[in-house]
Amino acid sequence: MLENKNQSRTSLSELGEFGLIDHLTEHFKITKETTIKGVGDDAAILKFPDEQVVVTTDLLIEGVHFDLSYMPLKHLGYKAVMVNLSDVYAMNANASQITVSIAVSNRFPLEALEDLYAGIQAACVNYKVDLVGGDTTSSQVGLVISVTAIGHCVADDIVKRSGAQVNDLLVVTGDVGAAYMGLQVLEREKEVFKVNPKNQPDLEQYSYIVERQLKPEARKDIKPLLKELGVKATAMIDVSDGLSSEILHLCKQSNVGCNLYEDKIPLDPQVISVCEEFKLDSTTIALSGGEDYELLFTIAQADFPKIKANPNFSIIGHMTEEKEGMHLITRGNTKIPLIARGWNAMSDNE
Amino acid sequence: MLENKNQSRTSLSELGEFGLIDHLTEHFKITKETTIKGVGDDAAILKFPDEQVVVTTDLLIEGVHFDLSYMPLKHLGYKAVMVNLSDVYAMNANASQITVSIAVSNRFPLEALEDLYAGIQAACVNYKVDLVGGDTTSSQVGLVISVTAIGHCVADDIVKRSGAQVNDLLVVTGDVGAAYMGLQVLEREKEVFKVNPKNQPDLEQYSYIVERQLKPEARKDIKPLLKELGVKATAMIDVSDGLSSEILHLCKQSNVGCNLYEDKIPLDPQVISVCEEFKLDSTTIALSGGEDYELLFTIAQADFPKIKANPNFSIIGHMTEEKEGMHLITRGNTKIPLIARGWNAMSDNE
């Protein structure tokens, strides 16, 4: 399907570990004032005067988090960085550096890793972050990618998950559910390809949702946008595991409840039509799909006029007393408890 | 052999990802002033006023970096932290925080991860570092551990690999080669165990080298010791891949050459006797063995009197003009080129 057709293959063992690191990172430039020393010593050296530092890390495992039969390696590199930057932006911080460690089996030639690092580099350029370190090793099977992202922020600007107040409005950026439906389309095409390898998939009508799955973008724009609007979020989290799971995190850590309104959840028209095609309920997909990498945050009601007409934001609910619990108010005005059905990387059957 | 005999097994899927993180990290206490917020938000928040921050990361893969048939999970957790702290100390910085990400297959019960985290916690307590984040996910096969360590230091104290000068003395802490010989003993006992599972290995005569392999300690003590002695290292690296590989790194990054004296290389008597038993050359083991986690550094000749009688240090050589190259001066006074034969995680046959 979308696999790299490049037939050139250079064995990793020809380069050795240090040669490989040099080769893969030679085109990465240091651009941040906060990076004193990047790749090439025992540790990177950073300097953040008068600011707080944020650190986040994610581990991506082949066969669990990605399937190389439809995920091009360049996109995978890009996405691995996005997953982490999204967590930095969810603190309302500025992302500045990343480290990337990979473990690969011998089935990967050098050219495959070059594709992976081309995606990592594109992410570094687009999001203005420096690659400052990492580790490159072998695995017995499969590809493992571990990314750590470092950001910084003046202390007063940081937004935690724990600051939501009763009566605050619940806001989400962009739209949700698309990445999950993109995955469903890709999985279906993979099955078709298995039966008939000559069949070329036509993904054009699914272009938005497939791109949301294969090349997500982290919401770097939201911090400056909120600042411009004069809005300070009271609590924030990124939507990686599905809207319901993230709402439950915010409520739990802020000791509040929540009413979420089904008719306010932002869905792209393509998500609605593909959900119909797959006979899936679009609200369930929005609540449980995951991998949207949008930001979910709360604001004081007084800030409502500042964001109400902004196309980047949807007000999808409000926070309540903790004892009232967390509920979805359906289109039919039925109140049903909100439960986390987000994608669970630890469950036996996934 | 050394496997956990605890037969209690709790499936990871019973807890779910978030429950598992909560369970494994609940006994970790935040102790550093630089840790503003640890586990439990999108990112950890750190604060380092007037200091530079150092960041290092390592990825450990089952079957490549460790063998659970003789590596107890508690020791593995401890060692995974040491590997990273050693890199922080090699910058002459203070280690302050770590993140730990793990991927595990369903063959690991909760009790196994509790053992792993008990080792991580012991390392955090002994070395006074805070666990501030991570990721917990499933793998299709095997255990993957990714650790990132964060440290800090006033700018003037940081020691890079690149500062060695011609005529500087080359110094190593402790002794080298023991961890590699410990691994040889454990591998041999594993083969014996395969043939006769009732055979209980007697490792007492190998206790030092086996401990160096299974429970290495990072040299946190060197920074304050050098400070007390009034010595400022000009360049520093940790010995993880073998002495020769590390010397070549120092020389390459400092643009100098080196003469290393075979008779000065510090070897524990147990290493010498076990090398004889295994019919291996102890100098080769010291040069290429790896996993010693000692510190290798250079000092100005003027500092020689300050460290010459100190049992923590061995002066093993001196730096030369770059064009003179890097050589081992043997006991027989033969000069042979130094080549990196360190353990290479990228090679096909390891």
Residue B22 inside a domain? The answer is: yes
Residue of B16, B52, B253 with shortest CB distance to A47: B52
Residue B30 inside a domain? The answer is: yes
B181 and B314 belong to one structural domain: yes
Residues B314/B172, Cβ–Cβ less than 8 Å = yes
Partners of residue B102 in chain A, C-beta under 8 Å: 59
pLDDT at A343 over 50: no
Å between B185 CA and nearest CA of chain A: 23
Residue corresponding to tokens 């304050």: B224
Residue B221 inside a domain? The answer is: yes
Residues B15/B122, Cβ–Cβ less than 8 Å = no
Name B232's Cβ contacts closer than 8 Å, sequence gap at least 6: B159, B226, B299, B303
H-type alpha helices, A6-109: 16-25, 73-89
A119 and A227 belong to one structural domain: no
Q: CATH number of the domain at A111, please.
A: 3.30.1330.10
Which residues is B53 bridged to in the sheet? A46, B152
- The 8-class DSSP code of residue A302 comes to G
pLDDT at B7 over 60: no
The burial class, CB within 10 Å (0-12 / 13-18 / 19+), for B309 is exposed
pLDDT at B80 over 50: yes
Residue A346 inside a domain? The answer is: no
pLDDT at B18 over 80: no
What confidence tens digit (pLDDT) does each residue in A68-126 have? 998 999 999 999 999 999 999 999 999 999 999 999 988 888 899 999 999 999 999 99
pLDDT of residue B187: 93
Which residues is B131 bridged to in the sheet? B98
Single-letter amino acid code for the residue at A301 = Q
Higher pLDDT, residue A25 or A67? A67
A183 and A266 belong to one structural domain: yes
Kindly report the average pLDDT of chain B as a whole number.
Answer: 91
B116 and B149 belong to one structural domain: yes
pLDDT at B266 over 60: yes
| Lowest mean pLDDT segment, chosen from A253-257, B27-31, B284-288 | B27-31
A144 and A173 belong to one structural domain: no
Which residues constitute the domain of residue B306?
169-337
pLDDT of residue B341: 64
H-type alpha helices, B2-52: 16-25
Q: Of A127, A157, A187, which residue sits at a domain end? A: A157
The answer to whether the Cβ–Cβ distance between B43 and A54 falls below 8 Å is yes
The answer to whether the Cβ–Cβ distance between A345 and B139 falls below 8 Å is no
Residue B278 inside a domain? The answer is: yes
pLDDT of residue B345: 42
B41 and B179 belong to one structural domain: no
CA trace torsion A319, A324, A325, A327 (10° rounding): -70
pLDDT of residue B192: 87
Q: Of A112, A137, A157, which residue sits at a domain end? A: A157
pLDDT at B5 over 80: no
Q: CATH number of the domain at A241, please.
A: 3.90.650.10
Annotated binding site of A for Mg(2+): 42, 56-58, 87, 135, 238, 241
pLDDT of residue A315: 98
pLDDT of residue B193: 85
Q: Of A129, A157, A185, which residue sits at a domain end? A: A157
Name B197's Cβ contacts closer than 8 Å, sequence gap at least 6: none
Cα B149 to Cα B242: distance, rounded to the nearest angstrom: 22
- Average pLDDT (A135-141) is 87
pLDDT of residue A349: 33
Residue of A55, A132, A140 with shortest CB distance to B133: A55
Q: Phi first, then psi: what are they for B124, rounded to 5°?
A: -60, -40
pLDDT of residue B202: 82
pLDDT of residue B49: 87
What confidence tens digit (pLDDT) does each residue in B200-254 have? 778 889 999 999 999 999 999 999 999 999 999 999 999 999 999 999 999 999 9
The structural domain count of chain A equals 2
Cα A306 to Cα A303: distance, rounded to the nearest angstrom: 5
Kindly give the pairing relationship between strand B257-261 and strand B169-173.
Answer: unpaired
The ipTM is 0.90
Mutate: best of A23, A55, A144, A147, partner B, most B CBs <10 A: A55
B71 and B150 belong to one structural domain: yes
- The 8-class DSSP code of residue A73 comes to H
Residue A164 inside a domain? The answer is: no
Cα B116 to Cα A42: distance, rounded to the nearest angstrom: 25
Residues A93/A160, Cβ–Cβ less than 8 Å = no
Confidence of residue A299 (pLDDT cuts 50, 70, 90): very high
